[in-house]
Amino acid sequence: MRLLLRTLMAAVLTAAAPLAAAAQNGGYPVRPNPNTQFVYLNGEVMQRLGDKTTRLAQNIKLPDGTKINHKSGMVEMVGGKIITLRQNDYVKADGGVVYATPGSAAYSRGDNTVAADAKFEPYVQVGAASGNASEQLRLLQKKVDLLTRKIEILGKGQTPPPAVAALDTELRETDEALAKIPAGK
């Protein structure tokens, strides 16, 4: 009976050891969805996925080694730098930090010269996020294909040069369609 009790006690202690070790090493290891954010809201860190927000029950450690204190918002980065999150700042699943205001970004680097109520300039996505990007890309690829065909035809050195009027017309139409696409929108 005593042997059975010792065996059970050893099994319980062995099973609990990883949890105790996780707490001592700076947080319980988690493997969050890549879209998960750990956001500081109203004095505590919350886990946000989409529009669902849940309170963290314990300190966590992200796969990259970033540690997050669920109560204070203190974050220990992989390199050992410690920052404190402020309202609406968040840590991404990959360990990157996104600051809600210029003041919180400055605060994290020890710069007290930025006003607490400073705002970021509105962010405007340009380039590939453009609503017409796929159409622009399609037309540019078509132009490359037309120019490649024209080079192949003219590169053969035939005398007189072959007629490429149809290709020139198609290139002109492609250029006109490209010119109609608003830049950066």
Same domain (yes/no): 13, 95: yes
Closest CA to 66 of 99, 92, 35, 36: 92
Q: What is the pLDDT along the chain (185 residues), one digit of tens a residue?
A: 555 445 444 444 444 444 333 333 568 899 998 899 999 999 999 999 988 999 999 999 999 999 999 999 999 999 899 999 999 999 999 999 999 888 888 888 888 888 877 887 776 655 544 557 778 888 889 989 888 888 888 877 777 777 788 888 999 999 998 888 876 54
Residue 51 in domain: yes
Give the pLDDT confidence score for residue 25 in this predicted structure.
57
Quote the number of domains for the chain. 2
CA 103 to chain centroid: 21
Structure token digits, residue 17: 């050891």
| pTM (2 d.p.) | 0.53
Q: Are residues 73 and 135 in the same domain?
A: no
Token reading at 131 = 């609503």
The answer on 150 and 83 residing in a single domain is no
Residue 79 inside a domain? The answer is: yes
**Angle in degrees, 0-180, between the axes of helices 165-179 and 133-154, rounded to the nearest 10:** 160
pLDDT at 10: 47
Which tokens go with 160?
């007189």
Question: Is the same domain home to 56 and 21?
Answer: yes
DSSP H or E segment with residue 53: strand 52-55
Single-letter code of the amino acid located at 41: L
Cα 30 to Cα 40: distance, rounded to the nearest angstrom? 18
122 assigned to some structural domain: no
Q: How many angstroms separate the CA atoms of 49 and 135, rounded?
A: 32
Domain match, 80 and 162 both: no
| Contacts for 178 with CB less than 8 Å, ≥ 6 apart | 136, 139, 140, 143
Alpha-carbon distance of 88 to 83, in angstroms, equals 14
What pLDDT sits at residue 114? 83
56 and 95 fall within a common domain: yes
The pLDDT, as a whole number, for residue 63 is 94
Domain for residue 52, yes or no? Answer: yes
In a domain, 119, yes or no: no
- pLDDT for 84 equals 92
What is the Cα 140 distance to its own chain's centre?
28
Looking at the structure, do residues 97 and 164 belong to the same domain, yes or no?
Answer: no
Domain that includes residue 75, residue range: 2-108
